[in-house]
């Protein structure tokens, strides 16, 4: 199992690095659309019983993302129209969900009105489009350094939370949702992510932290780091809630040894749109 997990991770890392190093932006944009479609299918799989809507909605979403990706690469009024819509409507709508309803659902360990399965299915589409847009914008507008530094912030929070929890964890964070997570692990994850944001702001030109530092103070950067790391934990716990409710261990088996795509990017779901909002795209 461990060997399978390592092999899958290495293959994924090779594919992502190869697309980022390509002379064209299209390999990465296509990969991003495919991964977003897979994550959407998995989220719908957790909340909807009917099979065909998952495939139809996910397929249409991928085609739409590919079409919009072409628009992103073409300057003009159409690009400005779509960017204005995403920035002023979709991103704030997604942000509100993660700050209020998602937190309430995690705290109560159940869905809250009006977020029943069908509403969560609609929200899945909105959130995946917001994440896809945010990551595409980081890559196309702000550069690879900005994109990678946001992802590394999330990975720092996740990895540090795991090891800190294993070493010092005593107090359960959300026992009814994810019994293995602890407050000590959460604090370790938040601290690691915040330190990464500060460090990258100083020594990595073009990174998310460096771009924030152009307009925000060090104190503000610390607050942003704490906030984004905290919502990354909410994203993780929210997916755990959906899986527990669906009675499954993984969102799917698309990634051998890792579960599904959604399992790998559950923390990216809230962080990417919020990070783009904070950056002020």
State the Cα angle at 206 between 161 and 228, rounded to 5°. Answer: 30
Rounded Cα gap, residues 2 and 12, in angstroms: 15
For residue 9, what pLDDT is reported? 72
CB 179 within 8 A of CB 165: no
109 preceded by cis ω (within 30°)?
no
- Averaged over 3-21, what is the pLDDT? 80
Nearest residue to 68 (alpha-carbon basis) of 119, 129, 18: 129
Q: Is 264 in a helix, a strand, or coil?
A: helix
Comparing 64-68, 113-117, 160-164, which segment has the lowest mean pLDDT? Answer: 113-117
pLDDT tens digits, one per residue of 142-169:
999 999 999 999 999 999 999 999 999 8
What does 176-187 look like in DSSP terms, one character per residue? TTEEEEEHHHHH
pTM: 0.94
Nearest residue to 71 (alpha-carbon basis) of 82, 86, 60, 59: 82
Question: Quick one: pLDDT band at residue 81, thresholds 50, 70, 90?
Answer: confident
- Averaged over 58-78, what is the pLDDT? 88
What are 172's strand-pairing partners? 182
Comparing 11-25, 90-104, 171-185, 264-278, which segment has the lowest mean pLDDT? Answer: 11-25
For residue 72, what pLDDT is reported? 82
Q: Positive or negative CA dihedral for 107, 271, 19, 161?
A: negative
């Amino acid at each position: 199992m461990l060997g399978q997990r390592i092999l899958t991770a290495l293959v994924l890392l090779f594919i992502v690095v190869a697309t980022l190093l390509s002379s064209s932006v299209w390999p990465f944009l296509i990969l991003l659309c495919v991964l977003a479609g897979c994550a959407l299918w998995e989220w719908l799989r957790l909340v909807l019983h009917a099979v065909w809507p998952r495939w139809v909605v996910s397929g249409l979403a991928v085609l739409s993302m590919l079409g919009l990706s072409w628009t992103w690469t073409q300057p003009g009024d159409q690009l400005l129209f779509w960017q204005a819509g995403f920035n002023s409507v979709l991103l704030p709508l997604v942000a509100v969900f993660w700050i209020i309803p998602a937190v309430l659902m995690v705290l109560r360990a159940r869905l809250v009105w009006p977020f029943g399965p069908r509403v969560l299915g609609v929200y899945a589409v909105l959130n995946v489009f917001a994440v896809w847009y945010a990551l595409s914008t980081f890559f196309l507008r702000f550069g690879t350094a900005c994109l990678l530094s946001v992802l590394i912030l999330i990975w720092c929070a996740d990895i540090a939370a795991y090891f800190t929890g294993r070493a010092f964890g005593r107090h359960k964070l959300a026992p009814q949702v994810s019994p293995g997570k602890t407050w000590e692990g959460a604090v370790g994850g938040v601290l690691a992510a915040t330190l990464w944001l500060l460090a990258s702001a100083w020594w990595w030109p073009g990174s998310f932290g460096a771009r924030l530092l152009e307009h925000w103070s060090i104190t503000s950067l610390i607050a942003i780091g704490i906030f984004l790391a905290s919502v990354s934990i909410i994203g993780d716990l929210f997916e755990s809630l959906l899986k527990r409710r669906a009675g499954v261990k993984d969102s799917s088996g698309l990634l051998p040894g890792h579960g599904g795509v959604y399992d790998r990017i559950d923390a990216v779901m809230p962080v990417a749109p919020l990070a783009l909002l904070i950056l002020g795209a």
